[in-house]
Amino acid sequence: MNSPRKSPFIVGIGGTARPDSTSERAVVEALRSAERLGAETRLFDGVFVSGLPLYVPDRKERTGGERDFIETMRRCDGVIVGTPGYHGSLSGPVKNILDLLEDTAGDARPYLEGRAFGCVVTAYGWQACGTTLVALRMIAHALRAWPTPFGAALNASTPLFETDGTCIDAKIAQQLAVVASQVVEFARHRAAGLAAAESMPS
């Protein structure tokens, strides 16, 4: 019988081609909160996300970065995805890296089945925040993940982070902490539930 992992493994995805973008910093802040709750984390930052080739389903060859991402996602217990809102929806690079999860379609646990999906959106205005958050939640459902009840929507029309990445606004930091806590909590509950099911006599 496999015992549940004590520390949930949470993956953060997000950012833009510009290093230390607001969306990337938001994901980093959320991962810090997850670590304070005892989780292990890994970030696929904006430079990584933006540097991947365009997803082509029929292309059998994968780059080292693509293989690393896919294998990491197979091991994760939850994910926090941050995206800028571009013209009412998520950015192309973030959608592109999520499309890579199609490579797990034939797995025993395909896509992100049974894992929490924390949504973080940054945009220059509330309208784009709302529509992008809805789009990200729909993608989470399509990937068989569980979008967390709370999604963080950050209006980036004013500065949200210091140059060192420190969150300026306590309310924003709290939003990101809530997303992280719900992802970690779900991962722990699911691990405990699976362990209990395994221990029951057949």
Structural domains for the chain: 9-54+62-199 (3.40.50.360)
Res. 194 pLDDT band, cuts 50 70 90: confident
Buried b (16+ CB within 10 A) or exposed e, 7-19: ebbbbbbbbbeee
Rounded Cα distance between 117 and 53, Å, is: 24
What angle (nearest 5°) sits at the alpha carbon of residue 96, between those of residues 94 and 26? 10
Q: Residues 86-136: pLDDT tens digits?
A: 998 999 999 999 999 999 999 999 999 999 999 999 998 888 899 999 999
Rounded Cα distance between 168 and 47, Å, is: 23
Predicted pLDDT of residue 2: 46
DSSP states along 43-99: EE-HHHHHHSPPP-TT-----HHHHHHHHHHHH-SEEEEEEEEETTEE-HHHHHHHH
